Chains A and B, each alone.
Chain A
Amino acid sequence: MLSRREDFRDILEERRTSSDLSHALKSFTRVSSRASPPCSVSTLNKTVLESQHLHYIMQEVSKDTGEPLEAIREEAAGILEEMSQNLQLGYIRFLGFILSKVFKRLFRKINVNEEGLQRLQQAMQESPVVLMPNHRSYVDFLVLSYLLFTYDLSIPVIAAGIPLMGMQLIGEILRRSGAFFIRRSIGTDKLYWAVLSEYVKTILRKDFAPVEFYVEGLRSRTLKSLPPKLGMMHMVLEPFFKGEVYDISLVPISISYDRVVEESLLAYEILGVPKPKETTMGLLKARKVMDEDYGNMHVCFGHPLSVRDLAKGKVNRKQYNLIPRDLPMKPSESIHAFANTTAHLVLRLQQDNMVLSPWSLMATILMQNLGGINLKLLTKQTVWLKWLVLDFGALVDWPVQVADSEVMSSGLSLHHSVVRCEGDQVLLAEQKPQRGAAPEEAVFRRAVAVLMCASYRNQALHVLASPAMLSVALSLAAASSRADIYNLYAFLREMFYNEFIFIPDRTGQDFEEACSLLQKCGTVQIINQNIMVTDKGLSVTSFLTAAVEPFIDAYQVIFRYICSRSVQEFTEKQFISGIRTFTLNLILTGEVKSYDVLSSETQKNALASLVRLNALTKKKREEQTYFSPNKAAIGRTADILGKKNSKIMCRLGRNSSCCVTEAPVMPVEQDSPAPITFIS
């Protein structure tokens, strides 16, 4: 059921009834903003190498290193050769043929919003386009090219991590399908940065092809949005700031999976077991992956954002007037802030158009019932949650004209790798540790199962995050005054800034939105600058609080750990191994029940938050980053978060609650104890 605006169409339907070969060989006419024909790949590369910008940098590098300019130029040419794509329609056709076969096997449906594609086509005629999909799976990588090919739109060039290039044959096929390869840790390699940025900018300036890149930088192992990386963002914005193009369109694209192909690897990776190196053999071995059913995929093309419109009043382009445009220039404060806000905005828009599966809603409930839950209750609560997230404006792929029980069982069977049913009870599918294994081993296995389930909860978490922050704030606040609650909300938002992706400088707006969402569903009442939870609303706030509880607990553990250590500074590596042992012990003793704290992502996010809040100082020394804690500040932070266990203070008087109609009330099994319990 999709109650919101987008209409989707399954593109596999046609593939199942007509020839894949004729699809691959169909006529293809590219739509572009320019009247002039696109230049060739070699002209493009030549333009990059001969650019004034690169010339400046090469001279600088030559001066710095003492190497002759000629050698530097060769190095630059080498970098470019390693990097550059070699987009050829023939390979797209070839790949199109293969992908038709693969996709049909993996997915039941690939649903696309055609209206979004029409908007994209329009945008492509007006200005250079940047495609900005979220990144949850390797499948993302080519699905967009496949779609654009199917709909006769320009095939994008795609920023890819260099490990992909290392795959024999596949690397070359990807390159010819438009992938260009970027090294993972560029660091301070000036020449590499220069070649890369000039390459990206030249593609945009010449409108060679749409540029596709993942603003999250990496594939998200948690299935939650990652804080944006700004390097590429700056590169794609700059041609507009410098007036080299009239405008640039940023197109947020949301790819949602019912079931992620690499799900079994995710938990291991976030627990710190390194991901396997991408190899062609690995891919072939992964063929057994092909025999599984991965449900539906949704690709939702968002409204193109005009950079010109976004920058109006925020960026003064005149700042580029006093320095030659080809000279390397550090982005100013305002430019940096703009890139950061824009990247966050794109992430938010990606989230808005994510399509939630019934399963991700189930996973959210399951995460609050890790000990198992009765199927009937799970169904009831999932359906309740469905209405709640629809109220919050989410897109939900809940089949119409199918009984709820069937939707549930279909979800459960699709995810047999995560859950199993034992009679009426739904439990996490956990691998039993071998007999005689260490207790840590059991914790680890449990953690894998929980974090796998958590990943699917994370798919829905963005819908709940802001109202959940408000709910927590309500529970922390000593009084119901709006100002107090706002301050707490703002604090929490800062605290979980990287965890839940909030747009900078929008605290007030987000707060208002969260208030109105909770008000709309009758959870809170706002009277005379007081925000109060209604009687009926209590179940909603409790549920929302519980949804983010594991993160709050995780952060608390991390704070405790840092404060307990006597060292003055530590590296990230030391921290991650230290916190793991620390947590393992706490879990073994039963003191901590949150497994999210074992996630390296959560650990890194917590560190970043402390740095943001000035409770940690980050120092760079000899190529190493060191953190030194301000324990007093961390202690204070922990204290504020710690108050949450005190019960929610503000309730409405009995008389006023009657004005609240149809507030969703969390369904509760008559004879069972309250299903919502705080985990800690």
Chain B
Amino acid sequence: MASSGHGSGRQEAADRRLRLIAGHLHPRIAASECKAEAAESDPVRAKTVPKRRQEVMKWNGWGYSDSRFLFNKKGQAEFTGRRYRLGGLIFPSLKDWFESTFGANLQHKSPPTAALNSSAITPPNLNEPFLQDLKSMGIPHSLEAEDRVFRAHGHCLHEIFALREGRFGRLPDMVVWPNCHDDVVKIVELACQHNACLIPYGGGTSVSSALECPPDEMRSIVSLDTSQMNHILWIDEKNLTAHVEAGIVGQELERLLNESGFCTGHEPDSMEFSTLGGWVATRASGMKKNIYGNIEDLVVHIKMVTPRGVVEKSCQVPRMSTGPDIHHFIMGSEGTLGVVTEVTLKIRPLPEYQKYGSVVFPNFEQGVACLREVAKQRCAPASIRLMDNAQFQFGHALKPQVSSIFTSFLDGLKKFYITKFKGFDTHRLCVATLLFEGDREKVLQHEKQVYDIAAKFGGLAAGEDNGQRGYMLTFVIAYLRDLGMDYYVIGESFETSVPWDRVLDLCRNVKERITRECKERGVQFPPMSTCRVTQTYDAGACVYFYFAFNYRGLADPVHVYEQVEHAAREEILANGGSLSHHHGDTGR
């Protein structure tokens, strides 16, 4: 033991050191103007996300109100609206696939309750002093039933199922729309002062029940909607960073950056609706992470408002080693620690060239071996995904009606070549979809390298169309879920992170477990249980599962669903996988 004199000296040194390190976290004192107020008058910028979201988006399903799948009078699947490239297209093989995969029948419909009945909703439990102070500050808010219902849920199966049946649990009592960071600071202070409960709300795409209001919460619950905080505050072209408000949705961020010749390259499947703040709060992962990285690689700086003050670093630097990185407490906290208000992100110049591609493998085993090799050689394209046979069939069913006879003839030829000439079994083959990005020349070179590796594992190049359609699947899957729910089919996706050597075993066992659990729980028709290896890393991969079944004859389908999903997760853990790779799932 050192003497006490020494001890206090050391104590001082330690305190000094701690002060220094903590200095990095001192809030900046800088007044910034609210961009949102200025933007109100700007007619050029159409808002993607209005305050009254229900005016453009479904209150009991996924996405835009005008965009949905339906079976038309001829029994053909059709996608409505004009927002998407798919709008107005017919999908001739979707019906057969749907009926044969799920044992579903177009005659057996399970439509949702038609409209939101505001009178059925319990009036808000208001915190009057909070409301009064809020009003005096001029921060927009709403007590309307429709606004509250819209923000009472994410997109978990049980949440959507309940909405379709017109069942509502505990709702937020009011919604507030801060216009900027300072508004958030004020709101959080007020909530602390008046003992109100705040739930940050970004895109509302959560699949981890993070938006669910605790039914036993006695305090007034305030949903803090960040949608009006949607500005790029500045772009730093020298350091290639952008400082952005956290409420901006992915597609808007990308569009605005593209206008300046940049991109973030962060493209989670939900990017149409999910927000920057949400990505940070849930540790999101993007499709093109191989080039751009996951959110933790992209973030340079975070500003978060907590009940104890604002947390942020005092500099915008690529790396620090003064103790644990405060960002890693924030990322994955799912809104439990505070409200993320502003984020500095890395940006990149827009890529010159983009090319889709696909490879057919005789079986899933060969495909996984190929992806492993690609990861080993660290030459993964922007995105590389391997769909199993069932998912390949699924993707195939989403082929839009072709206009020219020639294309379909060509398709026939391709199929003939692959199945008859190369001897692939259509019930075993699987497809890898690829997306290359960068300089044209480098892309072509890269493409060759990847196809050469694929060839070693029996892979055959299968064209750009197949690749592009594969990616389309991930954007429309949520719309498809709504279609399924119209016909007694419920389903959901979940994902995991797993070491390379366990990928195959995990995929097989989890799919098998789902099938057997469904049977045991009285599901009449074998479920769809399919997976894809959706991301590759040095030490492992991310595997994404789709699981859906026909629930006719079941008394409590959601409960059955949850039991099966629970079993599937148990199986994942037993096979060396993680609870989640990017969906969060802290609530499970």
Contacts and interface: CB of A to CB of B under 8 A. Distances in A.
B428 A246 contact: no
Given A246-B508, A246-B512, A317-B575, A325 B502 contact: yes
25 contacts: A35-B427, A35-B428, A36-B363, A36-B428, A242-B505, A243-B506, A243-B509, A243-B574, A243-B575, A243-B576, A244-B505, A246-B508, A246-B509, A246-B512, A316-B574, A317-B574, A317-B575, A318-B573, A318-B574, A318-B576, A321-B576, A324-B501, A325-B501, A325-B502, A326-B501
A316 B574 CA distance: 7
A488 to B, nearest CB: 42
Contacts, number: 30
A419 to B, nearest CB: 54
Contacts of A317: 574-575
Given A243-B506, A317-B575, A320-B576, 10 more contacts: A243-B502, A243-B509, A243-B575, A243-B576, A244-B505, A246-B509, A318-B574, A321-B576, A324-B501, A325-B501
Nearest to B513: A246
Nearest to B516: A246
Interface in B569-583: 573-576
Interface string B492-524: 000000000110011011001100000000000
Q: Which 4 pairs, one residue from A and one from B, show the smallest C-beta to C-beta distance? A: A317-B574, A243-B575, A321-B576, A243-B505
Contacts of A326: 501
Interface in B551-588: 573-576
A243 B499 CA distance: 13
Contacts of A244: 505
Nearest to A241: B574
Main secondary structure, interface of B, reads helix
A328 to B, nearest CB: 15
Interface in A308-328: 316-318, 320-321, 324-326
Contacts of A246: 508-509, 512-513
Count chain A CB atoms within 10 A of each CB in B501, B502, B508, B513 and give the residue with the most: B502
B425 to A, nearest CB: 8
A246 B505 CA distance: 8
Interface of A: 35-36, 242-244, 246, 316-318, 320-321, 324-326
Nearest to A319: B574
A164 B509 CA distance: 39
A243 B501 CA distance: 11
Question: Which of B427, B428, B506, B512 has the most chain A CB atoms closer than 10 A to its own CB?
Answer: B512
A494 to B, nearest CB: 34
Nearest to B576: A321
B350 to A, nearest CB: 42
* Among B501, B513, B574, B576: residue with most chain A CB under 10 A: B574
Interface in B423-475: 427-428
B576 to A, nearest CB: 4
Contacts of B512: 246
Contacts of A243: 502, 505-506, 509, 574-576
B221 to A, nearest CB: 37
A318 B577 CA distance: 9
A317 B512 CA distance: 17
A511 B576 CA distance: 40
A52 to B, nearest CB: 8
Contacts of B575: 243, 317
Contacts of A320: 576
A317 B577 CA distance: 12
B366 to A, nearest CB: 12
A318 B508 CA distance: 17
Interface in B19-56: none
A288 to B, nearest CB: 54
A320 B506 CA distance: 13
A325 B363 CA distance: 23
A317 B575 CA distance: 7
Contacts of B506: 243
A631 B576 CA distance: 50
B133 to A, nearest CB: 50
A105 B26 CA distance: 96
B521 to A, nearest CB: 16
A242 B499 CA distance: 13
A246 B571 CA distance: 10
Interface string B107-129: 00000000000000000000000
Nearest to B427: A35
A481 to B, nearest CB: 44
Contacts of B513: 246
A316 B576 CA distance: 12
A244 B576 CA distance: 11
Interface string B344-371: 0000000000000000000100000000
Nearest to B502: A243
Interface in B138-166: none
Interface in B355-398: 363
Nearest to B425: A35
Contacts of B509: 243, 246
B543 to A, nearest CB: 13
Interface string B517-554: 00000000000000000000000000000000000000
Contacts of A324: 501
B409 to A, nearest CB: 31
